[in-house]
Structure 1
Amino acid sequence: MKSYLPLIIGMMAVTYLPRLIPLLIMTERPLHPLLRRFLLYIPYTALSVLIVRGIMQPASDMRLVTLAGISAAAIYSWFKGGLVFPVLLSIITAFILLHV
């Protein structure tokens, strides 16, 4: 294959179209409240799946740091919500505890 451009464009279309089509179809249709509530939990579920292994298996010398980071993120999430700031707070907490 002399050029990878058709392959890259094809992979881009195959990846992007399944995300775009439901968005275009569902923008004008009202969602059932139960389905809407279910969809609101997906970002939290995705984030927890990505980080749960690191939380469950910390290195033996990092258990307290891991616990402090999780606690800081959980407390912030409980009162303020969101995804980005609790993760950043957890990272900052772990960094400070490791370097102090």
Structure 2
Amino acid sequence: MSAPWPLILSLSAVTLAPRLLPALWGQRFAPPRWFRRWLDAVPYAALGALIFPGILTADPKTPLTGLAAGAAALLAAGLRLPAYAAAIASVLAATLVQTLR
């Protein structure tokens, strides 16, 4: 195996750059409004990409379990309920589907 230090240093630089550049630019660089809106949507898109496969594979025998739990959480979020209420609603929906199957 080759020396790990070049890899460690390059990965450190890549990790540090997005954190350091905004501090160096300060107020001199103001991204356009459309870019700021796009950046605001990125966390939601990433979260959806991480959560949705888990919803579909929560119970391989009964995919409806994950879909019901996801729908219940989505409904609770749409009603602007607290996060714990969305979690409780999704657990209750999954339990109901498991009980009725």
Q: CA deviation at 1:66?
A: 0.7
Higher relative contact order (CA 8 A, sep 6+): 1
**Residue 39 in structure 1 maps to residue 39 in structure 2:** yes
Structure 2 unaligned regions, length at least 5: none
- How big is the shift at 1:69? 1.6
Alignment of 1:51-62 (within 5 A): 51-62=51-62
TM-score by length of 2: 0.58
Map of 1:22 onto structure 2: 21
Measure how far apart 1:10 and its partner are.
Answer: 5.7
Pairwise CA RMSD of aligned residues? 3.9
TM-score by length of 1: 0.58
| Contact in 1 for aligned 2:73/2:87 (Cα 8 Å) | yes
Count of residue correspondences? 94
1:90 to 1:34, Cα distance in 2 relative to 1, 3 A: farther
State the identity as a percent.
Answer: 24
Counterpart Cα distance in 2 of 1:58 and 1:96: 10
Distance 1:94 1:13 in 2: 45
Aligned-residue offset at 1:73? 2.0
Could you tell me which runs of 5 or more consecutive residues in structure 1 were left unpaired when the two chains were aligned. none
